[in-house]
Amino acid sequence: MAIPIAKSMGLYVITSGCERGRSRTLSIGADQFINYKEENYADVLSDIDYVIDTLGTKEIKAEMGILKPQGKLVSLKAAPNYHFAADQNFPLWKRLLFGLVGSPIDFLARKHQIEYRFIFVQANGSQLQEVTNLVEQENIKPSIDSVYHFNDINKALVKVSTGHSQGKVIVTF
């Protein structure tokens, strides 16, 4: 869903994946696709405004390296930091603790002159309403890989856990 949402916001979208996903990724709106088995994104990209990290701390340094100064890196998998704790309205002691945990990444972000944010995906009524409005206005459709009946839930779980799905895997009751 990130690709069509980013496109609806007027962004030029570059993504990476295996060759099997190229046509699907381009069909849902990506402007550029990098086959990670043939090219390293860090070798071909530079001066990027925004990066969404779904790989975690092992890729943070490379992701920061492709951003232009004042660029923004949002991570779904790396370490939470002080900004995250403050955004969540955590008490001061938790902010300091998260600040300590996230300090190595924050140090790298300052060195690269970029902004780093960690987000924890959670149910939030107002955010969900914004996304719903956007999905309805832009007629964004999720990519559905397969539908399983509840009796076949183990097959669905295997499909998701092995990384072989090409979209959402749905379980019906």
Residues 97 and 41 in one domain: yes
The model's pLDDT over 139-154, given as tens digits with 9 standing for 90+, comes to 877 778 899 999 999 9
Burial class (CB in 10 A: 0-12, 13-18, 19+), 117: middle
Whether residue 1 has pLDDT greater than 90: no
Residues 104 and 130 in one domain: yes
Best CA proximity match to 50, nearest among 100, 130, 119? 119
CA distance 95 to 84: 8
The model's confidence at residue 121, banded by pLDDT at 50, 70 and 90, is confident
Q: What's the angle, vertex CA 133, arms to CA 140 and CA 71, rounded to 5?
A: 80
The model's pLDDT over 12-52, given as tens digits with 9 standing for 90+, comes to 999 998 888 898 889 889 999 999 999 999 999 999 999 99
Whether residue 131 has pLDDT greater than 90: no
Instruction: Residue 20: give its domain's CATH number.
Output: 3.40.50.720
pLDDT of residue 145: 87
Whether residue 117 has pLDDT greater than 90: yes
Q: Which are the contacts of 4, defined by CB distance < 8 A and separation ≥ 6?
A: 28, 29, 138, 140, 141
Q: Per-residue pLDDT averaged across 78-104, rounded?
A: 95
CA distance 141 to 156: 21
Residues 117 and 101 in one domain: yes
Measured distance between the N- and C-terminal CA atoms of the chain, rounded to whole angstroms: 24
**Percentage of the chain lying above the pLDDT 70 cut:** 100
Residues 89 and 167 in one domain: no
The residues pairing with 19 across neighbouring beta strands, listed in sequence order, are none
pTM of the model: 0.80
Residues 26 and 68 in one domain: yes
Residue 166's domain spans which residues? Answer: 143-173
The model's confidence at residue 134, banded by pLDDT at 50, 70 and 90, is confident
Residues 133 and 150 in one domain: no
Nearest 5°: phi and psi at 99? -60, -40
Residues 66 and 29 in one domain: yes
Count of domains forming the chain: 2
Residues 134 and 157 in one domain: no
Whether residue 8 has pLDDT greater than 80: yes
CA distance 68 to 31: 19
Indicate the average pLDDT of the chain.
91
pLDDT of residue 88: 92
Residues 101 and 34 in one domain: yes
pLDDT of residue 9: 86
